[in-house]
Amino acid sequence: MNSKNSIFIFVFFTVLCYSSAGFSQSNKQQELEKRRQELRQEIQKINELQLENKSKEKSQLSLIENYNYKISVLNNLISVTNQQANLITREINANQKKITKLRVELTVLKEDYAAMIVKSYKSKNQQSRIMFLLSSDNFKQAYKRLQYMKQYSDHQKQQGKEIKAKSEELQKTNARLISQKKEKQKLIAENRDVQETLEKERHQHEILMASIKKNLNVYAAQIRKKQQEADRIDRELDRIIREAIASSNKKAGKATTSSSFALTPAEKVLASNFVSNKGKLPWPVEKGYVTLRYGTQPSPIDKSLTIKSNGVRIATERGAKVRAVFNGEVSRIIIIRNSNPIVMIRHGNYITDYKNLSKVYVKEGDKVTTNQDIGEVFTNPSNGETILNFIIYENLKTLNPAEWIYKM
């Protein structure tokens, strides 16, 4: 490989790397801005739902859950905004270096161009050019001199174009730099407001926790009671699913002791489609936020106590409609003692449960479609809370809804 080829390859890969870095930063900035807007919408949604229920006296446990969730969202918003500001700072520094480099290059180009103009002016008369050609020793030399004159003229024009292009690039970079500085200041100002809101929320949280700690035993007993009630309902749901599995296996002529549904060809297709939509399923309510996530977690009141959640708890608005998250069949409408109705929908060997309904719009055996209204969430008259409990099963195994529902 000769030296010219080596230089060309080096320059090509250098340009490619800088271009890739630019695209990467741009994409990262877009992702962060999208995430920031999502978090801002989430906070707005929380505020709207909290304002709607402000007239009702919520339980201390619910208030703590709400504070914890809002504080976590505010922290995320601050973190994302800081990332954006840092990325813009890097872009500002890069553009400032680029401006310095462009100014130097433009100065050199203008000096070279000025020198060429002076030289051209001194030899511009037609007679000088003709004499330059006629003084050639032979035709070949005359041809070369003619080519040189042409190349010199073309070089002048090219220099002029480069000066114009560099000047325009410098202006655009300057404008971009000004815009970036304004955007950074805007982000800093917004983050300052969010920080103030966060401090207020933390202060209210601390006041409430101090009040709770005075009667910690009472609240701990309430948590244990709620957990026992949740466990009782979960055991009943487990029993019902086992019965459904046994029934499906009996119809298929298989062992009724199996822990998995025996699926028909149509049910296999339905289950496959359900899986292919993992992470893209719609929320079971139009507006809401998660107050309790899936899995075993410490109590927000007393860290020595654990809360086991087989699904998620979603706070929503009064009169909220419950929607099927995917096509399926209503396998059961469940009424359990001291509990509001539960709708169970089968999607092959997957099941979605919608708990704490006040109204049910469907009946057992009904075929439902994605986003179809199947009922209405119950609103507690004593505290104004409208909470939907949502669970996803694969056969008997519970799954984390946050991994299946879009942006949960």
- Structural domains of the chain in order of their starting residue, each with its CATH number: 3-214 (1.10.287), 255-403 (2.70.70.10)
Distance (Å, whole) CA 328 – CA 374: 12
Single out the residue of 355, 395, 391 nearest to residue 375, CA to CA.
355
pLDDT of residue 97: 85
- CB 73 within 8 Å of CB 42: yes
Name the pTM for this structure: 0.69
Question: What is the residue type of 122?
Answer: K
CA 392 to chain centre: 22
Most confident of 12-21, 52-61, 106-115: 106-115
Higher-pLDDT residue of 173, 369? 369
Strand partners, 398: 393
Q: Does 56 score more than 60 pLDDT?
A: no
Question: Where is pLDDT greater, at 343 or 46?
Answer: 343
Mean pLDDT score, 379-383: 85
**Taking Cα atoms as reference points, which of 350, 341, 340, 344 lies closest to residue 324?**
344
Query: Mind listing the pLDDT tens digit for each residue in 123-145?
Result: 554 445 555 556 666 767 766 76
- The greatest distance separating any two alpha carbons of the chain, rounded to the nearest whole angstrom, comes to 115
pLDDT in tens, 286-340: 999 998 999 999 888 888 888 999 999 999 999 999 999 999 999 999 999 888 9
For 147-168, write each residue's pLDDT tens digit. Answer: 765 666 666 667 667 777 777 8
- Residues 252-275 have pLDDT tens digits of 888 888 899 999 999 999 999 999
Q: What is the pLDDT of residue 148?
A: 63
Tell me the C-alpha to C-alpha distance, in Å, between residue 184 and each of 85, 96, 107, 319.
6, 15, 31, 42
pLDDT, the chain, mean: 84
- With 90 as the cut, is the pLDDT of residue 107 above it? no
Q: Which pLDDT band, with edges at 50, 70 and 90, does 204 fall under? A: confident
Given a contact cutoff of 8 angstroms between Cβ atoms, the answer to whether 401 and 391 are in contact is yes
Dig out the tokens for 201 from the structure: 């929320």
pLDDT (mean) for 227-251: 94
Which residues make Cβ contacts (< 8 Å) with residue 28, sequence separation at least 6?
A: 87
Tell me how crowded residue 369 is: count the other CB atoms within 10 A of its CB: 10
Task: Indicate the residue type of 176.
Answer: R
